[in-house]
Amino acid sequence: MLAENLASVADLFKTKSPVLLGVDIASTSIKLVELADAGKGLYRLERYVIEPLPKDVVTDGNIVNVEAAGEVLRRAWKRLGSRNRNVALALPAAMVITKKIIVAAGQREEDLELTVEAEANQYIPFALDEVNLDFQTLGPAPNNPDEVEVLIAASRKEKVEDRVAVAETAGLKARILDAESYATQEAFRLIAPSLPANGRDQNIALVDIGAHVTHFYVLRNHQILFSRDQAFGGNQLTQDIQRAFNLSPDEAESARKNQGLPENYDRDVLQPFMESLALEVTRALQFFFTSTSYNQVDQIVLAGGCALLPGLDELVAKRAGVATLVANPFASMQASDRIRPRQLAQEAPMLMIATGLAMRSFE
């Protein structure tokens, strides 16, 4: 019975798969990343592309117009220039219910499935025939060698099917469906070597600034200790530009991207926005401190479209009192000759999720 529910459309977890394109369907763009195995546990960036999405095709993580999103993905895939049609996709963390459970070790697969089904009934507020459910054994339980820790993940079927339909509309094959938080966690492995002591035994705050939502994670030894979403993102800057200079949304976005704004933009619009963003980071840190037994973070890593705003890293470091850097998962990675280094440096902070998804090929 559980087999009917377990990843009947796409696997939330999968240990063996063909080489995959990582596909991040965000609210304002679709990002694709293709990696290759460079040997010795290293990767090479073969290709990537960022394709803008029309407004309101994706809202609050929900795909409102599957056909339109599929056409954008098809266009992005053609621009990418890859023959690979196998893709890994991700759902927003808010659409995925996860729970770690402890079960007896040594169970047969069939018995483990029954155990997972029984546990899922306790934690998932939907009928099991309404969800796609999967699980993964993480390893021995922390305090008992006769038990193992298992991660259960589930999402409403319609959320899974929408993303699979987008891939199919583009002529692609969805092989893995992950959670955005886990893809980000995977990509963080590429950033850790640039941190003091490789970030080992440290609390690292990863702040992914999206168009509408900022995702705040604290990781320790590559595991997420804390996560929080805050309704603040780069779209707020566009709205500020609209109000300050009496522009339409499209005009404001174009002026922002093309640096076609009046001289007082930095003082009257950009700086107040960055101050607000730094305040959101310090608030998230306080939520972390009050919600856990920890009282400090050792490093802040900024990702997302706003991460490269001039001086934002210094401002966040000053306001939070924590060393801050901008995420670049490709900093120590080989890249094919078709990649433009300067352009990649500007766009790398936006490619965390797509990169983490592409890394699933090599697990």
Domain locations in the chain as residue ranges:
2-94+158-184+351-362, 97-156, 193-330
Q: State pLDDT tens for residues 143-178.
A: 888 899 998 999 999 999 999 999 999 999 999 999
Separation between Cα atoms, residue 89 and residue 161, nearest integer Å: 11
pTM above 0.85, yes or no: yes
358: three-class secondary structure by DSSP: helix
Q: What sign has the CA pseudo-torsion 56, 12, 201, 327?
A: negative
- Could you give the CA distance from residue 22 to residue 34 in angstroms, rounded to a whole number? 7
Region 2-94+158-184+351-362: CATH code: 3.30.420.40
CATH topology classification for 97-156: Dna Ligase; domain 1 (3.30.1490)
Q: Which of 170, 223, 134 shows the shortest CA–CA distance to 23?
A: 170
What are the beta bridge partners of residue 99?
A: 152
pLDDT of residue 17: 55
Determine the pLDDT at residue 1: 32
- Fold agreement between 2-94+158-184+351-362 and 97-156: no
Strand 324-326 to 29-39 pairing = unpaired
Compute CA distances 122 → 118, 127, 130, 150, 189, whole Å. 7, 11, 15, 15, 33
Q: Which of 111, 110, 160 is nearest to 132 (CA)?
A: 160
What tens-digit pLDDT sequence spans the chain (363 residues)?
333 333 434 455 444 557 899 999 999 999 999 999 998 889 999 999 999 999 899 998 999 999 999 999 999 999 999 999 999 999 998 899 888 889 889 888 888 889 888 888 888 888 888 999 888 888 898 888 889 999 899 999 999 999 999 999 999 999 999 999 999 999 999 999 999 999 999 999 999 999 999 999 999 999 999 999 999 999 999 999 999 999 888 888 888 877 778 989 999 999 999 999 999 999 999 999 999 999 999 999 999 999 999 999 999 999 999 999 999 999 999 999 999 999 999 999 999 999 999 999 987
- CA distance from start to end of the chain: 28
- Decide if domain 193-330 falls under CATH 1.10.1040.10: no
Query: CB atoms < 10 A from the CB of 5, how many?
Result: 21
